[in-house]
Amino acid sequence: MAPQFTIPKTQKAAIVEKTDAPLKIVDNHPVKQPSELAPGECLVELDCSGVCHTDLHARNNDWPLPAKLPLIGGHEGVGRIVAIGEHTQSSPVKVGDRVGIKWLAYSCLDCEPCRKGLEQSCINGQYSGFTVDGTFSQYVVSWVTHVTPIPDNLSSAEAASILCAGITVYRAIKYSKAKIGDWIVLPGAGGGLGHLAVQYAAAMGLRVVAVDTGAEKKELVMKLGAEKWVDFRETKDLVKDIKEATDGFGAHAAVVTAANGAAYAQAIDYLRMGGTLMVVGLPARANLSADIFFTVVKSINIIGSYVGNRQDAREALDIASRGKVKCYYVTKPLSALSETYEGLAEGKIVGRVVLNMKE
Ligand code: NAD
Ligand code: ZN
Protein backbone atom coordinates (compact mmCIF):
# COMPACT_ATOMS: atom_id res chain seq x y z
CA MET A 1 0.00 0.00 0.00
CA ALA A 2 1.24 3.52 -0.82
CA PRO A 3 2.38 5.52 2.24
CA GLN A 4 -0.18 8.03 3.51
CA PHE A 5 0.79 11.66 4.08
CA THR A 6 -1.05 14.36 5.98
CA ILE A 7 -1.26 17.38 3.74
CA PRO A 8 -1.79 20.79 5.34
CA LYS A 9 -4.10 23.40 3.81
CA THR A 10 -1.49 26.20 3.94
CA GLN A 11 2.27 26.52 3.65
CA LYS A 12 5.25 28.86 3.82
CA ALA A 13 6.21 30.40 0.46
CA ALA A 14 8.25 33.28 -1.01
CA ILE A 15 6.07 35.28 -3.39
CA VAL A 16 6.90 37.97 -5.94
CA GLU A 17 3.60 39.86 -6.26
CA LYS A 18 4.93 42.58 -8.55
CA THR A 19 8.34 42.98 -10.13
CA ASP A 20 9.17 46.16 -8.25
CA ALA A 21 7.65 45.15 -4.90
CA PRO A 22 9.73 43.51 -2.14
CA LEU A 23 9.67 39.71 -1.98
CA LYS A 24 7.03 38.49 0.50
CA ILE A 25 7.51 35.48 2.77
CA VAL A 26 4.06 34.23 3.85
CA ASP A 27 2.96 31.21 5.89
CA ASN A 28 -0.63 31.01 4.65
CA HIS A 29 -0.21 30.20 0.95
CA PRO A 30 -2.72 27.51 -0.07
CA VAL A 31 -1.49 23.96 -0.74
CA LYS A 32 -3.18 22.33 -3.75
CA GLN A 33 -5.01 19.35 -2.27
CA PRO A 34 -4.72 15.81 -3.76
CA SER A 35 -8.36 15.93 -4.93
CA GLU A 36 -7.52 19.09 -6.94
CA LEU A 37 -4.59 17.54 -8.86
CA ALA A 38 -5.20 16.92 -12.56
CA PRO A 39 -4.27 13.52 -14.04
CA GLY A 40 -0.48 13.52 -14.57
CA GLU A 41 0.18 16.03 -11.78
CA CYS A 42 1.89 15.24 -8.50
CA LEU A 43 2.29 17.12 -5.22
CA VAL A 44 5.83 17.19 -3.80
CA GLU A 45 6.66 18.09 -0.19
CA LEU A 46 10.02 19.85 -0.51
CA ASP A 47 13.08 19.35 1.68
CA CYS A 48 15.09 22.15 0.08
CA SER A 49 15.74 24.22 -3.03
CA GLY A 50 18.88 25.68 -4.55
CA VAL A 51 18.86 29.34 -5.61
CA CYS A 52 19.96 29.85 -9.22
CA HIS A 53 20.85 33.17 -10.84
CA THR A 54 17.93 32.45 -13.18
CA ASP A 55 15.59 32.94 -10.19
CA LEU A 56 16.97 36.46 -9.86
CA HIS A 57 16.33 37.13 -13.58
CA ALA A 58 12.74 35.87 -13.06
CA ARG A 59 12.32 37.94 -9.91
CA ASN A 60 13.55 41.08 -11.78
CA ASN A 61 11.69 40.13 -14.98
CA ASP A 62 14.75 41.22 -17.00
CA TRP A 63 14.54 38.68 -19.84
CA PRO A 64 12.71 39.11 -23.19
CA LEU A 65 10.08 36.55 -22.01
CA PRO A 66 8.05 37.63 -18.96
CA ALA A 67 7.68 35.46 -15.85
CA LYS A 68 4.19 34.80 -14.44
CA LEU A 69 2.96 37.11 -11.69
CA PRO A 70 2.40 36.58 -8.85
CA LEU A 71 5.34 34.18 -8.90
CA ILE A 72 6.87 31.59 -6.59
CA GLY A 73 10.37 31.15 -8.01
CA GLY A 74 12.77 28.22 -7.65
CA HIS A 75 13.69 25.25 -9.84
CA GLU A 76 16.30 23.22 -7.96
CA GLY A 77 13.92 21.49 -5.51
CA VAL A 78 14.13 18.06 -3.89
CA GLY A 79 11.42 16.38 -1.85
CA ARG A 80 8.96 13.51 -1.61
CA ILE A 81 5.86 12.84 -3.71
CA VAL A 82 2.93 12.97 -1.29
CA ALA A 83 0.07 12.68 -3.82
CA ILE A 84 -0.54 11.88 -7.49
CA GLY A 85 -3.60 13.09 -9.43
CA GLU A 86 -6.44 10.57 -9.71
CA HIS A 87 -6.68 8.77 -13.10
CA THR A 88 -2.96 9.32 -13.82
CA GLN A 89 -1.94 6.70 -16.39
CA SER A 90 1.35 4.70 -16.28
CA SER A 91 3.19 6.96 -13.84
CA PRO A 92 6.98 6.36 -13.81
CA VAL A 93 7.05 7.48 -10.13
CA LYS A 94 4.91 6.69 -7.09
CA VAL A 95 3.79 8.28 -3.83
CA GLY A 96 6.72 8.23 -1.35
CA ASP A 97 9.45 8.55 -4.02
CA ARG A 98 12.11 11.23 -3.53
CA VAL A 99 12.29 13.35 -6.66
CA GLY A 100 13.78 16.54 -8.04
CA ILE A 101 12.02 19.51 -9.63
CA LYS A 102 14.05 21.02 -12.45
CA TRP A 103 13.57 24.07 -14.71
CA LEU A 104 11.67 22.10 -17.33
CA ALA A 105 8.49 21.23 -15.43
CA TYR A 106 6.53 19.87 -18.39
CA SER A 107 6.97 19.19 -22.09
CA CYS A 108 4.39 17.72 -24.44
CA LEU A 109 6.82 15.02 -25.71
CA ASP A 110 5.09 15.23 -29.09
CA CYS A 111 6.10 18.47 -30.86
CA GLU A 112 9.08 18.47 -33.23
CA PRO A 113 11.67 19.68 -30.65
CA CYS A 114 10.40 17.05 -28.17
CA ARG A 115 10.51 14.26 -30.76
CA LYS A 116 14.09 15.26 -31.56
CA GLY A 117 15.19 15.07 -27.89
CA LEU A 118 15.09 18.85 -27.37
CA GLU A 119 12.21 18.71 -24.91
CA GLN A 120 13.64 21.72 -23.03
CA SER A 121 12.69 23.79 -26.11
CA CYS A 122 9.17 22.24 -26.31
CA ILE A 123 6.68 24.60 -27.92
CA ASN A 124 4.22 23.72 -25.13
CA GLY A 125 6.81 23.72 -22.32
CA GLN A 126 6.20 24.82 -18.73
CA TYR A 127 9.06 26.08 -16.56
CA SER A 128 9.31 25.78 -12.76
CA GLY A 129 9.51 29.16 -11.07
CA PHE A 130 8.78 30.99 -14.32
CA THR A 131 5.59 29.93 -16.14
CA VAL A 132 4.38 27.79 -13.20
CA ASP A 133 5.07 28.24 -9.48
CA GLY A 134 8.37 26.76 -8.35
CA THR A 135 10.20 25.48 -5.31
CA PHE A 136 10.53 28.43 -2.91
CA SER A 137 7.64 26.95 -0.94
CA GLN A 138 7.04 23.86 1.18
CA TYR A 139 4.89 22.11 -1.45
CA VAL A 140 5.04 22.27 -5.24
CA VAL A 141 2.84 20.81 -7.97
CA SER A 142 4.66 19.17 -10.86
CA TRP A 143 4.23 16.44 -13.49
CA VAL A 144 4.94 12.73 -12.96
CA THR A 145 6.60 12.43 -16.38
CA HIS A 146 9.14 15.17 -15.64
CA VAL A 147 10.15 14.91 -11.98
CA THR A 148 13.57 13.28 -11.61
CA PRO A 149 14.24 10.32 -9.28
CA ILE A 150 17.05 11.13 -6.82
CA PRO A 151 19.75 8.49 -6.14
CA ASP A 152 19.51 7.17 -2.55
CA ASN A 153 23.10 8.01 -1.66
CA LEU A 154 22.71 11.75 -2.34
CA SER A 155 21.14 13.90 0.36
CA SER A 156 18.42 16.29 -0.84
CA ALA A 157 20.71 19.31 -0.28
CA GLU A 158 23.55 17.65 -2.21
CA ALA A 159 21.24 16.80 -5.11
CA ALA A 160 19.34 20.12 -5.32
CA SER A 161 21.69 22.17 -7.48
CA ILE A 162 22.53 19.27 -9.77
CA LEU A 163 18.92 19.69 -11.01
CA CYS A 164 19.65 22.96 -12.80
CA ALA A 165 23.27 24.04 -12.46
CA GLY A 166 24.60 20.48 -12.79
CA ILE A 167 22.40 19.34 -15.67
CA THR A 168 23.07 22.55 -17.59
CA VAL A 169 26.84 22.49 -17.45
CA TYR A 170 27.02 18.72 -17.89
CA ARG A 171 25.07 18.98 -21.15
CA ALA A 172 26.99 22.06 -22.35
CA ILE A 173 30.35 20.34 -21.84
CA LYS A 174 29.03 17.15 -23.48
CA TYR A 175 27.99 19.08 -26.62
CA SER A 176 31.15 21.25 -26.70
CA LYS A 177 33.00 18.46 -28.54
CA ALA A 178 35.94 18.88 -26.12
CA LYS A 179 37.78 15.60 -25.68
CA ILE A 180 40.07 14.17 -23.03
CA GLY A 181 43.21 16.33 -22.77
CA ASP A 182 41.59 19.40 -24.41
CA TRP A 183 41.60 22.84 -22.79
CA ILE A 184 38.26 24.30 -21.70
CA VAL A 185 37.76 27.88 -20.46
CA LEU A 186 35.04 28.41 -17.86
CA PRO A 187 34.14 32.10 -17.32
CA GLY A 188 31.89 32.21 -14.24
CA ALA A 189 33.80 29.26 -12.71
CA GLY A 190 33.27 30.30 -9.09
CA GLY A 191 29.48 30.59 -9.34
CA GLY A 192 26.72 27.99 -9.03
CA LEU A 193 26.94 26.62 -12.57
CA GLY A 194 30.65 27.29 -12.95
CA HIS A 195 31.97 25.39 -9.92
CA LEU A 196 30.05 22.31 -11.04
CA ALA A 197 31.35 22.81 -14.61
CA VAL A 198 34.93 22.69 -13.27
CA GLN A 199 34.20 19.28 -11.75
CA TYR A 200 32.28 17.76 -14.69
CA ALA A 201 35.05 18.97 -17.03
CA ALA A 202 37.78 17.51 -14.83
CA ALA A 203 35.83 14.22 -14.56
CA MET A 204 35.70 14.09 -18.37
CA GLY A 205 39.49 14.47 -18.59
CA LEU A 206 39.46 18.10 -19.77
CA ARG A 207 42.03 20.67 -18.66
CA VAL A 208 40.29 23.65 -17.05
CA VAL A 209 41.14 27.35 -17.21
CA ALA A 210 38.83 28.93 -14.63
CA VAL A 211 37.90 32.59 -15.06
CA ASP A 212 36.21 34.53 -12.23
CA THR A 213 37.27 36.95 -9.52
CA GLY A 214 38.43 36.97 -5.89
CA ALA A 215 40.62 34.80 -3.66
CA GLU A 216 37.76 32.70 -2.30
CA LYS A 217 36.53 31.64 -5.75
CA LYS A 218 40.09 31.00 -6.88
CA GLU A 219 40.75 28.73 -3.92
CA LEU A 220 37.51 26.80 -4.51
CA VAL A 221 37.98 26.18 -8.24
CA MET A 222 41.64 25.17 -7.90
CA LYS A 223 40.64 22.69 -5.18
CA LEU A 224 37.90 21.32 -7.45
CA GLY A 225 40.25 20.53 -10.32
CA ALA A 226 41.03 23.68 -12.35
CA GLU A 227 44.64 23.84 -13.61
CA LYS A 228 44.83 27.55 -14.38
CA TRP A 229 43.12 30.64 -13.00
CA VAL A 230 42.54 34.06 -14.57
CA ASP A 231 40.94 36.82 -12.49
CA PHE A 232 38.79 38.82 -14.94
CA ARG A 233 39.03 41.94 -12.76
CA GLU A 234 42.80 41.84 -12.33
CA THR A 235 44.00 40.71 -15.75
CA LYS A 236 45.40 43.37 -18.10
CA ASP A 237 44.89 41.18 -21.16
CA LEU A 238 42.43 38.29 -20.79
CA VAL A 239 43.08 36.85 -24.27
CA LYS A 240 46.86 36.85 -23.77
CA ASP A 241 46.57 35.23 -20.33
CA ILE A 242 44.26 32.49 -21.62
CA LYS A 243 46.42 31.81 -24.67
CA GLU A 244 49.50 31.56 -22.47
CA ALA A 245 47.66 29.16 -20.19
CA THR A 246 46.68 26.94 -23.13
CA ASP A 247 50.02 26.20 -24.84
CA GLY A 248 49.88 29.45 -26.82
CA PHE A 249 47.09 28.35 -29.18
CA GLY A 250 43.96 29.11 -27.16
CA ALA A 251 41.31 26.79 -25.77
CA HIS A 252 39.39 24.05 -27.58
CA ALA A 253 36.15 25.11 -25.92
CA ALA A 254 34.60 27.71 -23.64
CA VAL A 255 31.41 27.33 -21.59
CA VAL A 256 30.36 30.80 -20.47
CA THR A 257 28.21 30.71 -17.33
CA ALA A 258 28.56 34.35 -16.24
CA ALA A 259 25.32 36.34 -16.05
CA ASN A 260 27.19 39.21 -17.65
CA GLY A 261 27.54 40.11 -21.35
CA ALA A 262 31.19 41.15 -20.88
CA ALA A 263 32.16 37.53 -20.23
CA TYR A 264 31.33 36.69 -23.86
CA ALA A 265 33.21 39.58 -25.41
CA GLN A 266 36.58 37.96 -26.10
CA ALA A 267 35.65 34.30 -26.34
CA ILE A 268 36.24 34.05 -30.12
CA ASP A 269 39.71 35.54 -29.61
CA TYR A 270 40.87 33.04 -26.99
CA LEU A 271 39.48 29.95 -28.74
CA ARG A 272 41.84 28.05 -31.02
CA MET A 273 41.06 26.98 -34.62
CA GLY A 274 37.93 24.82 -34.67
CA GLY A 275 37.06 25.86 -31.11
CA THR A 276 33.53 25.88 -29.69
CA LEU A 277 31.77 28.57 -27.67
CA MET A 278 28.93 27.19 -25.57
CA VAL A 279 26.47 29.97 -24.79
CA VAL A 280 24.94 29.26 -21.37
CA GLY A 281 24.89 32.37 -19.12
CA LEU A 282 21.81 34.50 -19.82
CA PRO A 283 22.58 38.16 -19.12
CA ALA A 284 19.63 40.54 -19.25
CA ARG A 285 19.18 42.40 -22.55
CA ALA A 286 22.47 41.35 -24.13
CA ASN A 287 23.57 40.54 -27.67
CA LEU A 288 26.28 38.16 -28.69
CA SER A 289 28.73 39.94 -30.92
CA ALA A 290 31.34 37.90 -32.73
CA ASP A 291 33.86 39.06 -35.29
CA ILE A 292 32.52 37.42 -38.46
CA PHE A 293 35.91 37.28 -40.20
CA PHE A 294 37.65 35.42 -37.37
CA THR A 295 34.63 33.23 -36.67
CA VAL A 296 34.89 32.04 -40.28
CA VAL A 297 38.64 31.72 -40.75
CA LYS A 298 39.08 30.03 -37.36
CA SER A 299 36.13 27.67 -38.10
CA ILE A 300 34.54 28.58 -34.74
CA ASN A 301 31.34 26.86 -33.54
CA ILE A 302 28.85 28.90 -31.50
CA ILE A 303 26.18 26.78 -29.79
CA GLY A 304 23.34 27.82 -27.49
CA SER A 305 22.78 25.28 -24.70
CA TYR A 306 19.58 25.25 -22.66
CA VAL A 307 19.43 23.20 -19.41
CA GLY A 308 19.05 19.51 -20.39
CA ASN A 309 16.48 16.83 -21.11
CA ARG A 310 15.32 14.03 -18.78
CA GLN A 311 18.25 11.85 -19.84
CA ASP A 312 20.82 14.62 -19.15
CA ALA A 313 19.22 14.92 -15.69
CA ARG A 314 19.71 11.20 -14.99
CA GLU A 315 23.31 11.27 -16.25
CA ALA A 316 24.29 14.42 -14.32
CA LEU A 317 22.85 12.97 -11.09
CA ASP A 318 24.49 9.60 -11.68
CA ILE A 319 27.92 11.24 -11.95
CA ALA A 320 27.23 13.15 -8.72
CA SER A 321 26.03 9.98 -6.97
CA ARG A 322 29.35 8.33 -7.85
CA GLY A 323 31.16 11.14 -6.01
CA LYS A 324 32.79 12.72 -9.09
CA VAL A 325 30.98 16.03 -8.63
CA LYS A 326 29.91 17.68 -5.36
CA CYS A 327 27.96 20.86 -5.02
CA TYR A 328 29.67 23.35 -2.69
CA TYR A 329 26.82 25.03 -0.82
CA VAL A 330 25.66 26.66 2.37
CA THR A 331 22.13 26.05 3.68
CA LYS A 332 19.88 28.88 4.80
CA PRO A 333 16.21 29.30 5.69
CA LEU A 334 13.65 30.50 3.10
CA SER A 335 13.71 33.92 4.81
CA ALA A 336 17.29 34.37 3.45
CA LEU A 337 16.10 34.45 -0.18
CA SER A 338 16.23 38.26 -0.55
CA GLU A 339 19.78 38.50 0.80
CA THR A 340 20.77 35.61 -1.48
CA TYR A 341 19.46 37.57 -4.49
CA GLU A 342 21.55 40.55 -3.39
CA GLY A 343 24.61 38.31 -3.11
CA LEU A 344 24.04 36.90 -6.61
CA ALA A 345 23.60 40.39 -8.08
CA GLU A 346 26.90 41.47 -6.51
CA GLY A 347 28.76 38.30 -7.52
CA LYS A 348 29.35 37.44 -3.86
CA ILE A 349 27.93 33.90 -3.74
CA VAL A 350 30.68 31.29 -3.91
CA GLY A 351 29.14 28.02 -5.21
CA ARG A 352 25.46 27.84 -4.21
CA VAL A 353 22.96 28.73 -1.50
CA VAL A 354 20.45 25.95 -0.76
CA LEU A 355 17.30 26.91 1.15
CA ASN A 356 16.01 24.48 3.76
CA MET A 357 12.20 24.27 3.50
CA LYS A 358 11.85 22.33 6.76
CA GLU A 359 13.27 25.16 8.88
P1 NAD B 1 26.20 32.86 -10.29
O2 NAD B 1 25.92 34.27 -9.97
O3 NAD B 1 26.25 31.84 -9.20
O4 NAD B 1 27.61 32.75 -11.07
C5 NAD B 1 28.02 33.64 -12.06
C6 NAD B 1 29.53 33.85 -11.88
O7 NAD B 1 30.01 34.64 -12.99
C8 NAD B 1 29.90 34.62 -10.61
O9 NAD B 1 30.83 33.84 -9.86
C10 NAD B 1 30.53 35.91 -11.13
O11 NAD B 1 31.61 36.36 -10.32
C12 NAD B 1 31.05 35.47 -12.50
N13 NAD B 1 31.28 36.56 -13.48
C14 NAD B 1 30.63 37.74 -13.60
N15 NAD B 1 31.17 38.46 -14.62
C16 NAD B 1 32.16 37.71 -15.15
C17 NAD B 1 33.09 37.91 -16.21
N18 NAD B 1 33.09 39.04 -16.94
N19 NAD B 1 33.97 36.91 -16.49
C20 NAD B 1 33.97 35.77 -15.76
N21 NAD B 1 33.13 35.53 -14.72
C22 NAD B 1 32.24 36.49 -14.43
O23 NAD B 1 25.12 32.45 -11.39
P24 NAD B 1 24.64 30.98 -11.86
O25 NAD B 1 23.50 30.55 -11.01
O26 NAD B 1 25.81 30.12 -12.02
O27 NAD B 1 23.99 31.36 -13.29
C28 NAD B 1 24.78 31.97 -14.28
C29 NAD B 1 23.98 32.36 -15.52
O30 NAD B 1 23.56 31.16 -16.19
C31 NAD B 1 22.69 33.15 -15.27
O32 NAD B 1 22.53 34.13 -16.28
C33 NAD B 1 21.60 32.10 -15.38
O34 NAD B 1 20.35 32.64 -15.74
C35 NAD B 1 22.18 31.27 -16.49
N36 NAD B 1 21.64 29.91 -16.61
C37 NAD B 1 21.49 29.41 -17.85
C38 NAD B 1 21.01 28.13 -18.04
C39 NAD B 1 20.85 27.57 -19.41
O40 NAD B 1 20.10 26.62 -19.56
N41 NAD B 1 21.54 28.08 -20.41
C42 NAD B 1 20.67 27.35 -16.90
C43 NAD B 1 20.84 27.89 -15.64
C44 NAD B 1 21.34 29.18 -15.48
ZN1 ZN C 1 18.75 27.44 -12.86
Interatomic CA distance for residues 315 and 171, integer angstroms? 9
| Three-state secondary structure call for residue 245 | helix
Q: Which residue has the higher pLDDT, 359 or 323?
A: 323
The residue whose C-alpha atom lies closest to atom 17 belonging to ligand 1 is 263
pLDDT on residue 2: 75
Which DSSP string corresponds to 32-66? PPGGGPPTTEEEEEEEEEE--HHHHHHHHT-SSSP
pLDDT on residue 3: 84
Which ligand is located closest to the Cα atom of residue 128?
Answer: 2
Interatomic CA distance for residues 218 and 255, integer angstroms? 17
> Does the structure show a pLDDT above 80 at 12?
yes
Residue 188: CB within 6 Å of ligand 1? yes
Task: Kindly give the distance from the C-alpha atom of residue 193 to the centroid of ligand 1, in angstroms, as a whole number.
Answer: 7
- Nearest ligand 1 atom to the CA of 280 is 41
pLDDT on residue 51: 98
pLDDT on residue 318: 98
Domains in the chain with CATH codes: 10-163+308-356 (3.90.180.10), 166-304 (3.40.50.720)
Contacts of 33 (CB under 8 A, 6+ apart): 7, 9
Q: In what order do the strands lie in the sheet containing 228-231?
A: 228-231, 207-212, 183-187, 251-256, 271-279, 301-304
What is the per-residue pLDDT across 149-199, written as a single tens digit (0 to 9) for each? 999 999 999 999 999 999 999 999 999 999 999 999 999 999 999 999 999
Residue 76: CB within 6 Å of ligand 1? no
Interatomic CA distance for residues 130 and 65, integer angstroms? 10
The residue whose C-alpha atom lies closest to atom 2 belonging to ligand 1 is 344
Residues in the chain: 359
What is the per-residue pLDDT across 247-301, written as a single tens digit (0 to 9) for each? 999 999 999 999 989 999 899 999 999 999 999 999 998 999 899 999 999 999 9
Rounded to two decimals, the pTM is: 0.98
pLDDT level of residue 217 (50, 70, 90 thresholds): very high
Residue 187: CB within 6 Å of ligand 1? yes
What is the per-residue pLDDT across 67-96, written as a single tens digit (0 to 9) for each? 999 999 999 999 999 999 999 999 999 999
pLDDT on residue 4: 85
> Does the structure show a pLDDT above 80 at 244?
yes
Nearest to 298 by CA among 315, 280, 275, 270: 275
